[in-house]
Chain A
Amino acid sequence: MTMLTDFGYILLFIIAAIVFVAVILFLAKLIRPNRPNEEKLTTYESGEEPDGNANVRFNIRFYVVALIFILFDVEIIFLFPWATVFGNKRLIAETDGLWGWFSLVEMFVFVGVLLIGLAYAWIKGHLDWVRPEVKTTEYESKIPTSLYDKINQKYSQ
């Protein structure tokens, strides 16, 4: 039996997770009663009656937001290797402290350019969602508001 590497353990965990879920689901299937009806089989939509097809076309705004998300995701990825070398004692000692400043400025420039891009998209209004307009009605009621106040006062005691 050879020794497992660290990633071998991770693989074991993954396999164990899959097996565990499969066993539980299988057990549940064995012991649960099986009496389907139409109500039970409909899609669960937070208690609402499902309406229409779920395969509708999405608004393109979701896509723009997802794209901006990816760009910043990749930017974060670049921060990880940077974090491992930014405070490297040997490099700092070799360069008389210059390395720290150098790498700091380097990352500031990188993040700065992307932040400017975000600022651009923000100012331009691409991140604004189209909100439903709230309309106040123009209808003038014949019943004066003082009447309502009286009723409120009467029943609030």
Chain B
Amino acid sequence: MNFWYFLTALTLLSASMVILSKNPIHSVLYLVFTFFCISGHYVLLNAQFLMAVNIVVYAGAIMVLFLFVIMMMDLSKNSPDSKSTLTKLAGAILGGTLLVILIAASRKVDLKDVKPIDAQTGMVEGLGQILYRDYVLPFELVSILFFVAMVGAVMLGKREAGERNF
């Protein structure tokens, strides 16, 4: 339990550093750290497979993509903050309200009659049995989702004659 508090504090700290740091590359590195912390939470929840997936896909692959995006932007020019103070204030109030409401709601949750998990919960095998037996259809349709994403990305990413060349 104490370890949970430590991990949570670390997660929140690194997550807020993502948006607070001025240098985008630092933001990405903090984000990687946040993903590792979240993987730690998965371990505490007995979901080892999700931890591995989170590290491989998010901390690995998605981060590469983020870095490419950052490198495609021109960072040498320092653009000034375009948001006015009023916008920032309004955003902070709205986000804060949602946070307060969610915290207040989850404080009311009574967890007395939660079923205790057994040692097999969250194991790869259980996931596989559910995913490939009960959830066949969504699983196959996810491939269509990937297909659309691939075709779309490839189509949009192709550079063409007459396109704005930044």
Contacts and interface: CB of A to CB of B under 8 A. Distances in A.
Interface of A: 7, 53, 55, 57-58, 60-64, 66-71, 73-75, 77-78, 80-85, 88, 91, 103, 106, 109-110, 113-114, 116-118, 120-121, 124, 126
A70 B62 contact: yes
B150 A68 contact: yes
Given A84-B125, A85-B125, A85-B128, A106 B61 contact: no
A53 B71 CA distance: 12
B4 interface: no
Interface stretch (B82-90, B93-101, B108-116, B131-139): B131-139
A57 to B, nearest CB: 6
Interface of B: 43, 48-49, 53, 56-57, 60-62, 64-65, 68-69, 71-76, 124-125, 127-129, 131-133, 136, 139-140, 142-144, 146-147, 149-151, 153-154, 157-159, 166
Contacts of B158: 64, 126
Contact of B143 (A57, A58, A80, A114): A114
Majority SS at the chain A contact face: helix
B132 A106 contact: yes
Nearest to A56: B71
A61 B153 CA distance: 11
A57 B72 contact: yes
Q: Which of A63, A74, A81 has the most CB of B within 10 A?
A: A81
Given A55-B71, A57-B166, 16 more contacts: A53-B76, A60-B157, A64-B153, A64-B154, A64-B157, A66-B61, A67-B157, A70-B57, A70-B62, A77-B53, A81-B125, A82-B131, A85-B125, A88-B129, A113-B140, A118-B150
Nearest to B159: A60
Contacts of A73: 56-57, 60-61
